[in-house]
Amino acid sequence: MDKKRKKIIDFEEYRNYFNDPKLWNKIKKVAKKAGIKVVYATLVLYYMSRDPSIPAKEKLKIYGALGYFILPTDFIPDALMGLGFTDDLAALIWALYTMSGHITPEIEHKAEQKLREWFGDYDQSEIAGLLPMSTETEEEKTSTD
């Protein structure tokens, strides 16, 4: 393989666009339009970015994906109905998969709590399978609800 082959999207370049206020403003603006999956993936990554056990170098992947989500200019404009957030979701899922070993039950729980706060009671099937690996069994999840 050609080592000079360029990545389609270099998420590293977007990490400088991430900061808490911009992220929360973007979520507030687009939550219903983007959908529960995009918001959940964003929340999981956000809470991972706050986890002191994750090395700073690894967090750069998270910051890149969240920075890409924040920016209004990306491959597929957010204004396109039905398609606008597919590239954002792809960036978020890429980060989730590359960081899957760092997803803890606590992080999942915080993200789910915030999701309930914003979306009310939601159908768990809407976010099922989004995370690359579940850190809890279904039995453990039901016993804590």
The answer to the question of residue 70 being in a domain is yes
C-alpha gyration radius of the chain: 15
Query: Is residue 140 situated within a structural domain?
Result: yes
CB-facing half-sphere around the CA of 106: CA atoms within 13 A: 8
Angstrom distance (rounded) from CA 141 to CA 17 = 34
Q: What pTM does this model have?
A: 0.72
Quote the pLDDT of residue 131. 86
Whether 2 maps to a domain, the answer reads no
Any domain includes 103 = yes
Answer whether 39's CB lies under 8 Å from 121's CB: no
* Beta carbons of 29 and 76 less than 8 angstroms apart: no
Structure tokens at 123: 């159908």
Residue 139, pLDDT score? 43
Number of domains composing the chain:
1
Give the structural domain span for 92: 19-144
Please say whether the beta carbons of 134 and 112 come within 8 A. Answer: no
Q: Does residue 132 belong to any structural domain of this protein?
A: yes
Chunked mean pLDDT (size 10), the chain, 145 residues: 49 69 78 81 94 91 88 59 69 90 94 90 86 53 46
In a domain, 3, yes or no: no
Per-residue pLDDT at 140? 44
Residue 5 lies in a domain: no
Residue at 11 is within a domain = no
